[in-house]
Amino acid sequence: MKFQITILGCSAAYPANGLLTTSQVLNINEKYYLIDCGEGTQAQLRKYRVKASKINHIFISHIHGDHILGLPGLIGSFGLLGRVAPLHIYCPEGVKEFVEAFLKYTKVRKLIYPLHFHVHQSTEPTLLLDNEDLTVTTIPMKHDAPTTGFLFQEKERPRNMRKEAIEKYDIPYQQMTAIKNGADFRTATGKVIPNKELTKAGKPSRSFAFCSDTAYTETILPQIKNVDLLYHEATFGDEKLEDIQERNIHSTARQAGQIACQANAKRLIIGHFSPRYKDLEVLLTQAREAFKNTDLAIDGRVFNVK
Instruction: Count CB-CB contacts under 10 A for residue 82.
Output: 9
| Number of shown-chain residues binding a second copy (CB under 8 A) | 35
Among 1, 29, 30, 46, binds a second copy (CB under 8 A): 46
Cα distances (angstroms) measured from residue 6 to each of 25, 44, 115, 285: 5, 10, 24, 22
- Which residues, in sequence order, are CB contacts of 155 under 8 Å at separation 6+? 132, 133, 134, 135, 205
- Which residues, in sequence order, are CB contacts of 125 under 8 Å at separation 6+? 137, 138, 139, 140, 151, 223
Which candidate, 277, 294, 152, 188, places its Cα nearest to that of 232?
Answer: 294
Position 240 contacts a second copy (CB under 8 A): no
Smallest gap, in angstroms, from Cβ of residue 115 to a second copy? Answer: 15
Position 91 contacts a second copy (CB under 8 A): no
Look up residue 11 and give its DSSP letter: B
- Interaction residues for a second copy, span 252-271 (CB under 8 A): none
The span from the CA of 122 to the CA of 139, in Å, is: 8
Measured from the CB atom, the residue of 18 and 172 that comes closer to a second copy is 18
Measured from the CB atom, the residue of 13 and 193 that comes closer to a second copy is 13
Among 70, 237, 257, 271, binds a second copy (CB under 8 A): 70
Q: In the annotation, is 66 catalytic?
A: yes
Position 63 contacts a second copy (CB under 8 A): yes
Which spans of this chain sit near a second copy (rule: CB under 8 A)? 13-16, 18, 20, 39-40, 42-43, 46-47, 63-65, 68-70, 72-73, 76-77, 80-81, 94-95, 97-98, 101-102, 105-108, 145
Residues marked active site are found at 66
